[in-house]
Structure 1
């Protein structure tokens, strides 16, 4: 499984692919310098139960740390992960 970040203008994506087939995506809006808003998580049904959503979130958190960006998790999945995962709260916009 490969997960990569792609940005275009004011939108960003963590895209998960396996053998060039899309397995899932987590989208975010670039809300200004130093802030992104995670707005949607989608995992293809055949990849459910593989922790793919968390892997995509981890990729975005890694990018946020590198760029010194804070995250607002509007997506219900991302919001739930931030509530229960202490080691990613350093990038959470309070």
Structure 2
């Protein structure tokens, strides 16, 4: 199905409009970097690939905006591991900002 996708900047999430519900990915944007923090697919839509659809559309949106990605959400991190073609979006110096 071709679900409607958009970046809801007011709620700070990417949303995928399903027939009677919304799947979403929460995010934080700071200094040209986007942090994807949580992905949620409504009950009744789990196991149908909805999570993969919204992550892929979010990544396309992030790429089009020229943002760097920090995948804090475990589902997004798993998607990136399975789809290494997106690795150029991931912020490379993530450990550089951590002090010991």
Deviation of 1:12 after TM superposition, in Å, equals: 2.5
Q: Contact 1:26–1:53 (CA<8 Å) still a contact in 2?
A: no
Flag structure 1 segments of 5+ consecutive residues without an equivalent.
none
Aligned length: 90
Partner of 2:95: none
The 10-residue stretch of structure 1 (49-58 or 72-81) with the greater mean CA deviation from structure 2: 49-58
Instruction: Compare CA radii of gyration and give the structure with the larger one.
Output: 2
2:71 aligned residue? 73
Residues 13-70 of structure 1: per-residue CA shift (max 9 Å, x gap): 1111124x323111111122x1000000000110011211111111211111111101
Matched, 1:13 2:20: no
- RMSD between aligned alpha carbons? 1.4
In the TM superposition, structure 1's runs of 4+ consecutive aligned residues that sit over 6 Å from their partners are: none
Unaligned runs of 5+ in 2: 93-100
- Partner residue, 1:37: 35
- The two structures have a TM-score, normalised by structure 2, of 0.80
Question: In proportion to residue count, which structure has more strand?
Answer: 1
Instruction: Provide the residue aligned with 1:3 in structure 2.
Output: 5
Partner of 2:23 in structure 1? Answer: 24
Q: Is the 8 A contact 1:15 1:22 kept in 2?
A: no
